[in-house]
Structure 1
Amino acid sequence: MSYALYYWGHIQGRGEFVRLALEQAGAEYVDIAREPEERGMGVAAVRRLLADESLAFPPYAPPVLRAGDTLIAQTANILMFLGGRHDLAPADEAGRLWAHQLQLTATDFVVHIHDTHHPIAGSLYYEEQLPEARRRAEKFHVDRLPKFLHYFERVLRSNPLSSEHMVGERLSY
C-alpha cells in the first residue's frame, strides 16, 4: 500500500517521527508538502485537507497519514497504525501498548522541548520571546530534561530482551 503523508514542508517536528517509521518500514509514500504545488500538492494541499468540510473524521492538525480511504492523525496514532502493519511494534497487545506508551511519553518530551522555544505562544517567533525562552530553557534543563533522560535510560536497562532496544529485541517505532 502506498501512503500519503501530510505535514509541513521542511519542518521536521512531529512529522519526522512518521517519516522515519515509513522509511524504516520501506513503505512507499508521498510526502505531500514536499511535492510541487503545480501538481496539486505542496503546503497548499495540506491546508486543503485541513479545511475540507466534507470529511467525516477531520484531522485537527498535521501530521496526517492517508492509507487508502482512511485518514489517521496524531503522531502516536499514526505510529501505532504503522507499527502493526509494518512489523515495527510487538505482535502481542501488551507489547503494542508498551510501545505506544513510550511514544506518548516521547511526545510529552517533545512538547516540553518545543515550549522552550515558544514559552508564551507558538504563534510568536522565538526572537519575540527570548527572555521567557531563556528562563523556560533553564528550568527545562534543570527540572525536566534529567527526568525524561533518566526514565528512557531506565527503560532501556529494564528491557529483558535487548540492551540496545527499548521495546523487544529489534527496532520499533
Structure 2
Amino acid sequence: MTEWIRVYAGDCTAEYQGPVARTARGHVVVLVKPDGTVLVHDRSGYSPAVWLTRAASLAIDHDEHPRITAVDGEQRLTVRFHHLAGCSEYPVSVAGVPVGPSDTADGTGPYVRSRGPVVDIASGDQYALKRESTVIDQSCACGLPLIRIGRAETGDQLRCLDPGCGQSN
C-alpha cells in the first residue's frame, strides 16, 4: 500500500489552538504526513513554526483559498492559504538501514531494516526477524533476501526472509 506525503507552499496563516495558542503568517511550506501530522515550516531553522502531530481527524479543502484543518482532542491546527503557490503529493515509505541485495530482478525491494522488521519499501511488506538472524546480500530463488540464522548448537543456516517460502539454501 502506497502512502503519500502532501506538500503545500504559499502565503498562509496558521492558527494553533491548544495548551499554548499560536498564530503565524508567512510564505511557508506545509507538509501533511500519512499519519495526520501537519508541519508548517518557514525559512528559519529546522523545527516547524507551527505543528500538530498525529491528528485524529484531518480535513483538506481545495477551494479558492485552500484550508487544512487538523484536530486531536482539544488541539486544533488550521492553515488558511491566502495565496497557494503550489501543491503536490509524493509517495513515502519507512526509511531504514539498507539490507539484502540492492537490486532485485523481480521488482521487489529494495529492503530496509526499520525498528525491527525488514520492509520492502516498494510494496510496504514487512518481515519479522528473529533475534539471532542477519539479512545477507544474497537472494532466495523466490527473489526475497536470504537470512543467516546462527545458533551455536546447529551452526549457520540460510533461509528465505519469508518463513512461508519453504526454501532453504
Q: With structure 2 as the length reference, what TM-score do the two structures score?
A: 0.22
Larger radius of gyration: 2
Q: Which structure's residues are more often strand, by fraction?
A: 2
